[in-house]
Each structure stands twice: as structure tokens, then as C-alpha cells.
Structure 1
Amino acid sequence: MATNNTVFMTPEESGRVQTTVRDLIQKRRDQRGQRWTPYDPISLIREATSASLLQDLSSAAFGLGGAPKQSQDTIIAYGIGDPYLPSIAKLQDLVPMKLSDLCMETHHRGRVLSLRRVSPVVEMKSSSWAVFQGDSQNEVERLEIFLHTSKHGQNILNLGFEFLVKEPYYTLNNHGQPTIRIDHPSDLIFSTYNYDPESWRRRDRSEGLKWDYTSVECKELGNTALYDKNYAMALAHYTEGLRVLMMQGDDSSSSLKHDLYRNRSHVNLILERYDGAIADALESLTHGEDGSQKDLDAKAYFRAGTAAYRLSNFGDAKDYFNEQLKLLPGSRLASTYLKRIEVREHEMSDGVYDMDKALRSLSKTKGRPDAADFVRRTKVKRSSVSGKGLFAAEDIKTHDIIMCEKAFCIVLGNENEAFSALTCDVRDDAAIRVFSAGLHQEVVQKLMKNSSQTEKVLDLFGDYEGLGKKPCERDGIPVVDTFQIHDIVQRNAFGVGQQSEDEGYRNASTGLWIRASYMNHSCIGNAKKELVGDLMVIRATRRILAGEEIMHSYDTTSDYDARMEALHLTWGFHCSCRLCVVEAQDGPAVRKKRLMLDKDADLFIERTKPAGAGIISVNRAKRLRRSIEETYNEKRYKNLPRRALVGIEQWLQTAGCR
């Protein structure tokens, strides 16, 4: 049963999930060290082909694109709690290995495995897999990417022809089948891009795709791929063209080099690789004096400015657009962006927003209004409550805006990326949680695309330290520890509330706000949050003095026992604020009576409209209020909120009664 995006499981259902996860863990442990066993290649390839064909038929029948959507009657479940680090070794330092060298439940540190895909890709909701060939046609194995299956808008396994697996992990998948498992995207490198969908049918490596083009041909092929909107392939061709130029020692001022960088900047912008778009745009500058060179440099500055704006680096964006105007006076696009930047700067400095305009724009911006962060009234420092906290940098009046922040990443329930999963955490007595797997995927994607954003995410609290707080890169690829990001998302994400009629716990809207994540919990906090699309507005519920910690309630339910369970299960702590201490002293009998009365009040509010309510309804509401008040000890609850009274008090106020 699901209510308010929470799954309530019977003890029997919960036990079955926990038993399944524990049994799989034990099975893996029992097989640890067992040597790789050869498969029948034809049977395994036939299995993948059949599964892929069934998915294609299902997608065609229901009008779905890509991996099939979750059934309305099921929710994906998987175990967590046995994390391992991504490979941080350089390819040149790894020793080649064969499929026959694999050992079950082993991370083959210091080794690298070269594979070629020989089957279609089977795309599932939480993973993708295909059959891969080793050194000979008779050596094949299943390779499965878990959760983080996308790159450049396509499935990673479809992008590549030949792959290198860094320090491969050989284990059993969730169905108990042997597999080479990829949890960290940077552990899998495709050494040859795949631009032939049927390339997997060729069994002989000698028939593989060759990268033997000149830099001019790479540019032309990239332009063709760009025209066809095959952005991953365009990126690959432009990158290869630049590599060839570098190998040839070509003159750094060559127009071809500038063209390749400029074109790749455009593709990076489309693929939301904003760091790369800025770097390539600046590399493409000719600094020439003739008209055509100035036009090209103006185009490069525009791309750099657009990318910087989308990263919310408004100062850099302003500089780039001003440079564009110097080269191309009268550019309307640059002028428009500069006007928008002026508005963003006022938002950042004064916290003044046109909320009506933001609300009107939500349908056009897909819930992501154009706005800047206003955070200057806050600062982050160590908290006596827990870890780091958010503190007031100045005195703040009641109802004033404390801060406004755009989501670092948000996934709304009506978007294809939204899906939730059940996780069974073996670190916490196999605790079962509902987890926003879709948000986890999107955060990892964003960090893989723009490593400049990594450090601020890694600074957030998570149960697993992973690679630490500093960004890491190897072989030109950002290294993201997906287990570390999982725990950060689990502990710091915010529910957004229902955004569409078909939204439920399977596709709940969730987001990650960096600055807001530093707010610690208190049931009697001094702040509350509101949302305008993905713009979070934090207001003071009372006067806050400079240096005081800003806190809000993670769970606002009036039921003490349910609140304690939710705080422990979702955020991993027990609250000991003044309200919780007093409620604990009430004892189970009083709390149970209050809960029953609260439910009666909720039912009354649901069935009875306050507008035009008659004397009978008003008297019933007053009796409910009085009964609930009697469960609170006047002396002990002095100056403390009485949460069970909130709903019925609001009803009476709306009905015009005090």
C-alpha cells in the first residue's frame, strides 16, 4: 500500500525482500574465488537476442521508446550496502587479462579486460546487458551495467564496438547469473565507437571499425553526424580529428583545429557538457582581424557564454557575451542574455524575485524557472547538532526570505527519468527504503558531464566516504563513485510533492538542493520551505539572530512514533529536540489517543467544507479541538507546537471561528 510516496509493507513482504537479498549475498560469498566457466556462445547470444526482440515488440505495442516503463503493479528492488571503489588506475598501468582469468566475487585490481560486443543490448529499467567476446569466438560472457546505463543520451553499450573494462568485477547479478558488473561508468571505456547498429553480428575482430581517417575527414564525418542529430558520434569524430592533428604536430593556429574545437563546443553544449563547451570555445578563438574570423570568434564567445549561464556562472557569462558584442556589435542574442544576467545579479544580491513570472513560466520551462540563487544571508559551518549546518549571516525577521536556491538536479514525476526503487540496505539490518533511483542517475550523469560541479556535491553528508571530497579524473574521464552519490542522494534529497495526476511512489518527484541540504532537522525549527518549480524558497517562521542555526522539520507528521521511525529509516537519526522529549514523556496510551483524534479530525476536514459550514459542523469541530487539546499537558507543552491541532485550527479559522 502506498500513501504520500511511502510504501507500507507487511512484515511478510518485507521479510521476503530481505531474505532474497541476503540469500543472494550468501550465494555470492559461497562462490567467491571460483574460476570462470565457459558458456555455449550460441545459447547466450540467442538469450540476449530473444530478450532484446521481446522488448522491441513490447515497446512497439505500447508506444514506448527505449527501456520499458515500470509496471503499475511492481516496483524494482535491489540490495545495497557492499560498496566498492571505482578504478582510479591509469589504463597504461593495468595488466591485460582474459575472460578465463576471471574469478567469482572478485575485483581484479591492477588488470584490464578487452572485450567485443557480440549481441544486441538488452535494456531494462535498472540495468542493461549484452554478450561480450574475449580473445576467441568461443569465450563469451555477460556484461551488465547497473543503473548508470546512459551516455550522450544513448545506452553506453550501444555506443561502443570494443570495450576496455578497468579492474573488472565478476559476480552474480540480481537473478543469480554470472556477470561482469559495472556500477561506476568510468570503469567501462569504449575503445572504438559504434556507428553501425548491426556491428555486433560480425564475429571476426578483423572486420571491426577502423579509425583511420584524416582530420579533414573527421570534421566532415562529424558535420554529417551533427546534421543527423547523432551527437555522440559527432563528438567522437571531432575528438578524433583533434587527436590526429595533435599526433601530426599540426600548427596550433590552423583553421582546421579552430573549426574542430568550435564544432565540438557546439555539440558539447547540446549534450549539456558545459565545462567542455567553454573549454572548446576558448580553444577555437582565432583572435584574427578580418571579418570572417571575428564572426567565428563571436560565435565561440556566444557558446562559452551560454554554457557558463547554464552553469549559473553569471559573472563569466557576462564577460563572454560582452566579448561577443565587441566583435559583433548589435547582436540581439548577446544583448538578451546580458539583460537576463542583470536580473540574475539582482536576485543574487537582493533576493527579489518576480514570483508571478516564475509561476507563469513553469509550463514552458518544464518546472525549472530561470532564476539565480540568493544565499548571501547564510553561511555553512560546523553544527553542534550534527556535522555541518546552515547559519544566519545576519538578523532575519519573521516571514522574511532566508534564501532561495535552484535545484542542483530535479526529476519530476511526469518525466521519463523518474522512477523509484526499493533498496534493502544490509548495512542497517537490511532496512528497506524507497529510493529515488531516477534522481540518483541524473546526479551521476550531471557530474560525469561537468566535473566542475562535483566538489560541492561530495561535500554533502553521506554514510559512505568513497573516494573522499575531491573530484577525480583518469584517462581524461571523470571518476564518480556511484555508491557515494547514492548515499548522498539518500540522505539529502527533498520530495517535491505530487506534480501530476499519474504520480505516485513509483515515480515520485524529487530533487537535490546543495545549500538547503545543510539545514539540520528540528521538529520546532525556525524555517520552512516553499517551491516554485525547482526554485526552493526558505522563509523564517520566527525571528532569527545572526549566528543562529537555521533548521527545519524533515517530517511534519503529528504522530510521534511514526515521525521517529521515518527520521531513523530515511535520515538515519533519532530526534531529541524539546518537542520530541516532551512527546516521549506522554507515554504510548496518550499518544495513541491523540493519534486517533487526529485521524478523526482529518476525516472531518476531508468531508466537511469550512465555507458556509453550519452550527452543527462548527460545534463538532470545536469538540474535536477540545478533545485534542486535552491530550496535551499545558505546563509541559508551554511554548511548544501542538501539531495534532494544526488541521482543525485552520478549518475553524477558515470557517470564521476563533
Structure 2
Amino acid sequence: MNNIQELASAMSGLCSEQDAWAHFHKGTLVHLHETAARTHSHLRSGRAAGRLLTSSLSVAEPNASLATVALQGLTPIRLRELKVGHTHHGRVLFGTLCVNPFKINGIMTVLEDDQGLAVRVGIYNSMSTPSALRAKYSKGAKVAIKEPYFKQTLDGSVAIRVENPANVVRMAEVPGENQSPSMVVEEEPRQGNGVDKGRKVRLLTVFNRAETHFQMGDFERALEVCNEGLEIDPENLKIIFLKGRALHSLKSYDQACQVLQMAVELSLGQVDIEDALRRSKAACARSQHREYDISEFLLGKQPPPEVEDFVGDVEIKKTRGRRGRGLFATKDIDVGELLLVSNAAFIVNGGVRGLEIDQSHEIKGSLQEDLVDAVSNAANKSQKLRQQLYELDDGSVHVRSSLPAMDSFHTSRRVTAEVLPQPNLQRIRDIVSRNSFGGEFQTFGEERREDEESLGFSGLWMLPSFINHSCLPNATRLNVGSAMFLHAAKPIKKREEITISYFDALLPQPQREGFCGVWGFKCNCKRCSVEKSISTALESLNAQFEALHHDALEETNAVRSAGQDFPAELPKSAEFAQVSKELEQILAKFPRMKDEEKNWVRASYVTAYWAGMQWDKLYSVDEIVKAVVSTVPGDFRALAMVAQQLEGLKHQIGSEGSAVEYCAAQARDICVRVLGTHSEHIIQALISRHAKSTIF
């Protein structure tokens, strides 16, 4: 094929010469270009747009030369004269760009000649800045293409491919027939001089430094170095993009969106930059509007998702007594409402099954030392983290009495200009000891096999460190991977302190008091005060509870794991159930004790009540659940009890009836207390999943 007429006859043997000239129809090409540009900007992969405009243009041709020649002396050529598959040596094509460009592998545009015909143009290997590209190839620009290479693309159309951007020269105007091209050529920036080379070397050095810090996780230093580079070249795309990624990693989503938007505008539609902007916008929306969906994780269908920090209607204030500071509600809060989401500033994982940081001095010694090392190393790099660490309780009176600003814990806050020293190792140990949380990573609603190993963890969450403990908590913490979700387990009034339980609160007061010692405090909540007031009467009962607790639960769980009906005799469970009977006799001796206070005490021995119900139906599920919900409303075991009861009722009497409706409503209420608010079908799925749980 030597010219466009030959191409016309070769296209399926059916195309007329008029059809072939449609390849040069300006309106058609402009429409295709603009459609591709829009599609490219919205598609995540960009591949569809690539097929439309660039897949065929991006294939290098063996006769496409990178050499360039002087414009002077070249003979003009028009589109009608171009031959497919030829590089037109000694010729120059003049025209006007009739679209704004966008970039995939190269710069994509459309050129119109002086006869009103148009052609697609792909310009590759450009090293210019994005702003320079936009200026040079903007709509309406007059250009000359030296020695144009005209090709047939894989989709059967035709286009000009330019391997060397220097072969596209900006013109003041398209020269007339009697004008020399040299008379109207615009002067372009000179490339390759010593000043330009030195600037490029400096920018490359800065970028490499920033990228190294970024890859090492030192995002603050990467941000600082990016700012150094932008002082040299404010429109350097690579550095702007890296700055946006660093801001996103620092959870400064608002600022990340602003910087990445600038990168998108400079990049002419680069897909990875557009994807980064979308992620930052989504993160910003979630952190501002509580748009979190963790249902797939709670249902065991997906691993924990990455989530963004969120600070709800809470503030740090001084507490009464010697509790120092705490977290308080700034408005009335409903059950299930999200209070905050906080990603761990530091977290370390262990592999010891069944040991929890808040229950074992042994695991405290191992995991917390690892955590101390992690905090020390990270604080050495990050000024922002040092600022937050200095706000946390380390046991000193000054720190416990100070009230840090809430914006210290907002992700978008700026780092103070004050340079804080690295805390010494002992101070870090004190901070970790008083503020870390730990336990086991949970898989909700599944039975745990005896041979299954559960990874323990110890971590430091900044804002949650201000939440005080209570054995009558009003909030529930939920670990979603390394993120901590906190939501209201009961209605919370404005200015009421938000509290959680640092450990399993469904245990007798002496055991709870021992766990409080791990953090170095004593709990004086109303529940503890009630149990202390009758401690003499409970003394022998506590000894029985501690002696029988483990063996009785192992006995009942073994029967449940085997899927068997409970036998007539379970000796350990029967003996353990006597603890609940004796407790009822003790409570009967205190007629002035309120029903609510009695339920608090019952909750301390709830496992004995559960054993009694399993063994000979001494108690109803409703009685046990009422004691738990009135004491620790966000405890998942109450949900598991009601979920199992609901499944049993449906199996016995079907899905209708007042008993089933009551139990279903109770299960729904407890589910919201335990796992927060979700759509109705998710709540029902969570209830069904918890029916399979091992409760104690």
C-alpha cells in the first residue's frame, strides 16, 4: 500500500475511496479523541482508552527514526500526499492542533491541515514537564511535524507517530505558500545547556532521597524532601505525586487530595495518579462522614480492610478524683453510634495462644518489650509521633493534669515547629505500660479449635489511650485488624465520660482488681464498690469459683464441640452451678440492694449461671443475658447466648410466634450494642453467625 487510495481498496475489499477519506474527517476524529479522553480519565486501568487510541500507536516501528533535521529546507506536504508506512524524508507537515491533548504512553492529539483534513497524532519519548506539554500541544497551537511517519494502526485506521518530540515545532502561524518556515517558527526553550542539566541532576537527587525515605516508611522526612524539590521546580510531576502519596500515608487526606489534584492536572490523565486521587478522596469521605463498611470482615468473608482514622463527638477533659484525664461525649449519643476509629500508631504481634496482654505478666514482658522497641525506633523518625507520645500518661503528675488539644490526634493537623527530643527509653516503657492495649485477634462467630493458635498482639493507639476503664463500661472497642473501632454500647449523655473495660469484666471483683494492677490503678466504679461492700460474704464463693471455673467450662465446651446433647450428668458443671445457687442465697440476705446492683454481682459469676443453665436449666437465657447487658452491654457473649436461643426456638416452633419475635428483637438490640449499627440484613447475618460461637 503506497497511498491512501491503496489503503481504501485493502480494507475488507468493501471500503470506497470516500470511506477511506473518513479517516481524515475532523469531526469524527475530534469526537473519538474526546470520548477516549473522558473514558481514559474514568477507567481505573485505562486499558479501554488505550485500545481506542494508543494500543496500535504505541508499537514501535523499525523505520521510525529518532533523528531530527533542521526545519529550514524541508518541503511542505499535505495530508492527501502522505503514504502509509512511509517516513517522509525531507518533508514537513504544517497544521493546527484541534483538541486538547491527553497522555497514556504518549501525547495524544489531532492535527488539522490547511485543507480541513485531520489526522490523529501520537508523540512519544517526551521528557518535558507536564505544564510545558500542555502549553506546547494545547488546542489551537500551530505546529510543524518534521519528516512525518504515517502508519496504519492495528484497528485499521491511520495516524502519524512521532518518536522524537523535537520533530514537532511550535509555529507562530502556519506559513503561506510564499513564506519560508523559518520566518514564522517560535523560539522554544533550549535543552541540554549546563544550567538545565544541573537543575535536572538536582531534581533527580531530591526525588531519589524522598523516594528512599518513603520506601522506609519515614513519610514525614519524605514530605520535607519533596518540599525541597518543589522549591526548585514547583511543577515537577514525580515529586508532586510522591508528596501526595506521603501525605496520604500520614493520613492527611485533605492535603493529599489537594496535591494529587494538582498532579492529575499536570499529568494529562496518568492513570496511577488518578487512582491515587480517588483513594485519597474516598479516605477523606470515610474519615469525615463515618462511611465504614466492615461487615464482610465481621462475617468472616474478607480480611480486615484498611480504614481511615475518624474522631467523632468526643473531647478530652479532666475527670473527677484521681483518674486524670478522660474522653467525654460532646453531645447525646445513641446506642451503636461510632465514636472514633483509630489505627494503631505501633503494634507488634506474638504467637502465643490464649495469653492476653492484660491478663499475663509473662506475655506483658515479651510483647511489650517488642512494643517499646517499635515505639522508640518510630519516635526517633517522626516529630508528629513524638508530639503525641509526650501527651500520653507516663505516670507523672504534670502529664496527667495537662489537657492536650484534640487536634493533636486529628490526622490532618500540622506538625508543630517546636522540635521535641526523643523520649528516653524509661519514659517510653512507662508510656507503653500505662497506655497499650492487647489481646488476641478475633474471628467473629466461629468456634475455636483446641489445636488452633491465636496470634496475640500488643499495640499503642493514641486517642483511645485517654479512655478510662470501668467495670460498668458504656462503650465497646472492636479491633478490625490494627484499627480500633469504638462505639456506644448504651445511650451516652452529653458531657458523660466514655469508658471501656480493659479486660474481661465478667469475673469476680478480686480477679478484676488483679488485672487493674497491670496498669497500676484501682477501679472504684459503682459495681466494684457494691461487691467490696459484701466482700466478706463472697469470700468463700470466690475461692470455689476460681477452683472450678476452668474445668467446668472445658467440660461443657467439649460436649458442644462434639455436637452432642448434654448428658444427664456433667460433674464439674453441676458442681460449678452450685456457685450460682449459693450466690442467690447470699444476695437474698441483702434486701436493700437494688435489682440493678444484684445483676452487676450476678454478671461477675455469669459463667456459673451458664453452667447451671446448660446442666439442669436452673436459669433462663433471659435472666443471664439481662445480668450481662445491664453490666457490660457490649459483651459479645450476650449476643451469642441470644443468637443460640433464637436458633433453638426457630428449630422447635418455627420462625413465627411471640417468643421468636421477642428473642429476635432482643438479639438485634444486643448486636447493635456489641458490633455497632449496620443494615438490617447484615445484622441478621451477624446474629446467625454468632449462633455458632463458643460462648465461654
Kindly provide the amino acid, as one letter, of the partner of residue 646 in structure 1.
V
* 1:305 aligned residue: 244
Q: Compared with structure 1, are the counterparts of its residues 320 and 630 closer, same or farther at alpha carbon in structure 2 (3 Å cutoff)?
A: farther
Q: Compared with structure 1, are the counterparts of its residues 423 and 582 closer, same or farther at alpha carbon in structure 2 (3 Å cutoff)?
A: closer
* 2:426 aligned residue: 483
Distance 2:307 2:243 in 1: 19
How far 1:603 sits from its partner (Å)?
4.2
> Could you tell me whether the CA contact under 8 Å between 1:398 and 1:542 is conserved in 2?
yes
1:607 aligns with 2:607: no
How far 1:383 sits from its partner (Å)?
1.4
> Could you tell me whether the CA contact under 8 Å between 1:306 and 1:317 is conserved in 2?
yes
* 1:47 aligned residue: none
* 1:396 aligned residue: 333
> Could you tell me whether the CA contact under 8 Å between 2:350 and 2:367 is conserved in 1?
no
Q: Compared with structure 1, are the counterparts of its residues 590 and 361 closer, same or farther at alpha carbon in structure 2 (3 Å cutoff)?
A: closer
How far 1:328 sits from its partner (Å)?
0.4
Distance 1:465 1:257 in 2: 50
Distance 2:254 2:524 in 1: 43
* 1:98 aligned residue: none
Kindly provide the amino acid, as one letter, of the partner of residue 203 in structure 2.
H
1:530 aligns with 2:467: no
Cα RMSD (Å): 4.3
* 2:291 aligned residue: 352
* 1:380 aligned residue: 316
**Deviations, residues 345-397 of structure 1 (Å, cap 9, x unaligned):** 23222223110455699987xx6x42112212211111115111001122111
Q: Secondary structure at the match of 1:354?
A: coil
How far 1:591 sits from its partner (Å)?
3.5
Q: Compared with structure 1, are the counterparts of its residues 274 and 626 closer, same or farther at alpha carbon in structure 2 (3 Å cutoff)?
A: same
> Could you tell me whether the CA contact under 8 Å between 2:287 and 2:309 is conserved in 1?
yes
Kindly provide the amino acid, as one letter, of the partner of residue 269 in structure 2.
G
* 1:280 aligned residue: 225
TM-score, reference length from structure 2: 0.49
Matching of residues 406-417 of structure 1 within 5 Å: 406-413=343-350
> Could you tell me whether the CA contact under 8 Å between 2:336 and 2:489 is conserved in 1?
yes
* 1:260 aligned residue: 205
Q: Compared with structure 1, are the counterparts of its residues 472 and 319 closer, same or farther at alpha carbon in structure 2 (3 Å cutoff)?
A: closer
Distance 1:546 1:518 in 2: 18
Q: Secondary structure at the match of 2:273?
A: helix
How far 1:629 sits from its partner (Å)?
3.6
Q: Compared with structure 1, are the counterparts of its residues 323 and 541 closer, same or farther at alpha carbon in structure 2 (3 Å cutoff)?
A: same
Kindly provide the amino acid, as one letter, of the partner of residue 492 in structure 1.
N
Matching of residues 521-600 of structure 1 within 5 Å: 521-555=469-503, 556-568=505-517, 570-588=518-536, 590-594=538-542, 596-597=544-545, 599-600=548-549
> Could you tell me whether the CA contact under 8 Å between 2:345 and 2:459 is conserved in 1?
yes
Matching of residues 217-228 of structure 1 within 5 Å: none
- Out of 303, 324, 328, the position equivalent to 2:263 is 324
**Deviations, residues 23-68 of structure 1 (Å, cap 9, x unaligned):** xxxxxxxxxxxxxxxxxxxxxxxxxxxxxxxxxxxxxxxxxxxxxx
How far 1:325 sits from its partner (Å)?
0.9
Matching of residues 455-474 of structure 1 within 5 Å: 455-463=387-395
> Could you tell me whether the CA contact under 8 Å between 1:559 and 1:595 is conserved in 2?
no
Distance 2:456 2:564 in 1: 36
1:643 aligns with 2:575: no
Q: Compared with structure 1, are the counterparts of its residues 264 and 360 closer, same or farther at alpha carbon in structure 2 (3 Å cutoff)?
A: farther
- Where structure 1 has 5 or more consecutive residues not aligned to the other structure, the ranges are 1-249, 425-431
Distance 2:385 2:232 in 1: 30
Q: Compared with structure 1, are the counterparts of its residues 513 and 594 closer, same or farther at alpha carbon in structure 2 (3 Å cutoff)?
A: same
Distance 1:472 1:349 in 2: 23
Q: Secondary structure at the match of 1:496?
A: strand
How far 1:445 sits from its partner (Å)?
1.7
Q: Compared with structure 1, are the counterparts of its residues 629 and 498 closer, same or farther at alpha carbon in structure 2 (3 Å cutoff)?
A: farther
Q: Compared with structure 1, are the counterparts of its residues 608 and 271 closer, same or farther at alpha carbon in structure 2 (3 Å cutoff)?
A: same
**Deviations, residues 500-546 of structure 1 (Å, cap 9, x unaligned):** 97868xx8411111111111111111112111111211122211011
> Could you tell me whether the CA contact under 8 Å between 1:405 and 1:513 is conserved in 2?
yes
Could you say which structure has the larger radius of gyration? 2
- Where structure 2 has 5 or more consecutive residues not aligned to the other structure, the ranges are 1-194, 409-414, 444-450, 611-623, 625-637, 650-662, 664-696
Q: Compared with structure 1, are the counterparts of its residues 595 and 542 closer, same or farther at alpha carbon in structure 2 (3 Å cutoff)?
A: farther
Distance 2:301 2:566 in 1: 39
> Could you tell me whether the CA contact under 8 Å between 2:358 and 2:502 is conserved in 1?
no
Distance 1:523 1:564 in 2: 10
- Out of 298, 315, 327, the position equivalent to 2:254 is 315
Q: Compared with structure 1, are the counterparts of its residues 251 and 342 closer, same or farther at alpha carbon in structure 2 (3 Å cutoff)?
A: closer
Distance 2:298 2:641 in 1: 30
How far 1:494 sits from its partner (Å)?
0.4
> Could you tell me whether the CA contact under 8 Å between 1:594 and 1:631 is conserved in 2?
no
Distance 2:360 2:580 in 1: 40
Q: Compared with structure 1, are the counterparts of its residues 477 and 280 closer, same or farther at alpha carbon in structure 2 (3 Å cutoff)?
A: farther
Q: Between 547-556 and 337-346, report the one with greater CA deviation.
A: 337-346
**Deviations, residues 470-501 of structure 1 (Å, cap 9, x unaligned):** 99999x99533222111111101001315797
Identity %: 22
How far 1:253 sits from its partner (Å)?
8.1
Q: Secondary structure at the match of 2:285?
A: helix
TM-score, reference length from structure 1: 0.51
Q: Compared with structure 1, are the counterparts of its residues 627 and 360 closer, same or farther at alpha carbon in structure 2 (3 Å cutoff)?
A: closer
Distance 1:279 1:403 in 2: 29
**Deviations, residues 213-269 of structure 1 (Å, cap 9, x unaligned):** xxxxxxxxxxxxxxxxxxxxxxxxxxxxxxxxxxxxx99983333222111000000
Distance 1:360 1:587 in 2: 42
How far 1:310 sits from its partner (Å)?
1.1
Higher share of residues assigned strand: 1
Distance 2:311 2:437 in 1: 18
How far 1:609 sits from its partner (Å)?
2.0
- Out of 492, 498, 511, the position equivalent to 2:435 is 492
* 1:75 aligned residue: none
Distance 1:313 1:360 in 2: 30
Q: Compared with structure 1, are the counterparts of its residues 359 and 320 closer, same or farther at alpha carbon in structure 2 (3 Å cutoff)?
A: farther
